[in-house]
Structure 1
């Protein structure tokens, strides 16, 4: 199976052909995938070099001229390093762009901690007005990329990953999907976490929701699920643990409820390792998730519980 990032350049190259508003801004990373598109559209495919602050500034400038910029690099260089430009050049100026990342969390362990960004979604959550897509399959990535580019002049973040579920689902860029129904709790799996969650909850009487668009947070879907499954809620996110616990708490603020946020821990793992080892170390493998989810929905003590 190809990866989400394998889909990125072909999909956006077609959008460059289809829509004269679309522009692409790169910072060296990913430039080879746009070599042919750059020959066709030299004025709308820009490579600013290894200058990530300029990457965001150039994208904002293009947006202010009426273009729809698609801005791409690794997550740590797209969100963390130029965060001031994301906040001011895009946010403060109310300029829309599509930020498309790769290598979030620990997708490229050999790159070391400089190339890891498990806090990217949480960091964007400090800003107003961002839509955040977290596809779990290349087919979903293609759909959500098209949604993002077509979203007027909105600010959109698309988080691509080499981690993926075995099958794509029909996502719409808005709502959570109900994948399994139960009566003893709700588990919300985000993007690439779905397959592990389904394996972990096999035989458990829980509802499983699937989210590929986490901002805006689909509060209505979560509330509907709790009507039959109860108000014990577990969030399994492929980035910083607890990123969406406040959103879930807000959605259920008028109901007695418990929320457990699972995801990438704050402790830095100082060995490169493999992706699978990082997944296990953060307790995001199916075996660990089953213990943590099962203990929580059955009323057992769980250290990460958030009331």
Structure 2
């Protein structure tokens, strides 16, 4: 199976052939994947070098000129390093584009903390009008990328990951998918966290919702899943900063007595870089840890120190 980044390069290269409005802007990262497209469309595949602020500035300028820019590099450089340009050159100017990241929370642990960005979605959440996609499989990434490229002048962030689920699921707009139903609570699994969540809750009487689009947040499906439960128990499992979507879930359930547990990457820095699997375990996001934390929460606890439990009564 190809990776999400490989699928991104292949799909976007084909889209460049089909849509003369599309342009790709790179900052040395991912250049090899677009070598053929650069030869075919040298005026619409632009490599600015290791200049991430310029990367976003060029993307914003192309958007002002009527193009649909697809801007790509690691999340730590795309969202964190160049955040001012995201805020000004897209948001303040009222332009649209597609930001496509790689190397999110700890996809390349050997790269160290400079190449990790667990706070990317939370940071974008401070800005208005961004759609955020978090695919869990290359096939889902392709569907979401095609949709984003054709999304008029909308501002879209697509978070690619080296972590993947074993099989793709149908991507239906911005709605959460109900994977299974239960009566004791609801778990929302985001992108590549679906397989670990399903393994963690095996045999438990829980509804599992699958989210590949987290902004806008699908409060309607969450409310429907909670249904008439007297006191709703909701767990969010996100592959980035813990608690990123707890406020959105609380807002969606404002009229329902509920508790929300946000599980994800903790704020503390893990200084042993290891492997992705070791980072998952270190963050309490492997199946065994998730089962312990979810069970503890459903039994009235907080769900463990790595999570952020928010109660609303």
Do the aligned residues in 1 keep the contact of 2:188 with 2:209 (CA within 8 Å)? Answer: yes
Partner residue in 2 for 1:149: 149
Q: Secondary structure at the match of 2:227?
A: helix
Q: Secondary structure at the match of 2:174?
A: coil
Return the alpha-carbon distance in structure 1 between the equivalents of residues 123 and 69 of structure 2: 21
Do the aligned residues in 2 keep the contact of 1:72 with 1:78 (CA within 8 Å)? Answer: yes
Partner residue in 2 for 1:91: 91
Structure 1 residue 172: deviation in Å?
2.2
Structure 1 residue 300: deviation in Å?
3.4
Partner residue in 1 for 2:209: 209
Residues 78-109 of structure 1 deviation map (CA, whole Å, 9 limit, x = unaligned): 00000000000110001101000000000000
Q: Secondary structure at the match of 2:236?
A: strand
Structure 1 residue 205: deviation in Å?
0.3
The within-5 A match list for 1:268-283 is 268-283=269-284
Structure 1-normalised TM-score? 0.98
Residues 113-164 of structure 1 deviation map (CA, whole Å, 9 limit, x = unaligned): 0000000000000000000000000000000000111111000000000100
Partner residue in 1 for 2:171: 171
The within-5 A match list for 1:1-307 is 1-227=1-227, 231-303=232-304, 304-307=308-311
Structure 1 residue 231: deviation in Å?
1.2
| CA gap 1:85/1:298 in 2 versus in 1, 3 angstroms | same
Do the aligned residues in 1 keep the contact of 2:294 with 2:303 (CA within 8 Å)? Answer: no
Return the alpha-carbon distance in structure 2 between the equivalents of residues 270 and 161 of structure 1: 21
Return the alpha-carbon distance in structure 1 between the equivalents of residues 7 and 218 of structure 2: 26
RMSD of aligned Cα (Å): 0.9
Structure 1 residue 271: deviation in Å?
1.3
Do the aligned residues in 1 keep the contact of 2:261 with 2:302 (CA within 8 Å)? Answer: no
Where do 4+ consecutive residues of structure 1 move more than 4 Å?
A: none
Do the aligned residues in 2 keep the contact of 1:173 with 1:212 (CA within 8 Å)? Answer: no
| CA gap 1:256/1:152 in 2 versus in 1, 3 angstroms | same
Residues 223-272 of structure 1 deviation map (CA, whole Å, 9 limit, x = unaligned): 00000566100000000000000000000011111000000000101111
Do the aligned residues in 2 keep the contact of 1:179 with 1:210 (CA within 8 Å)? Answer: yes
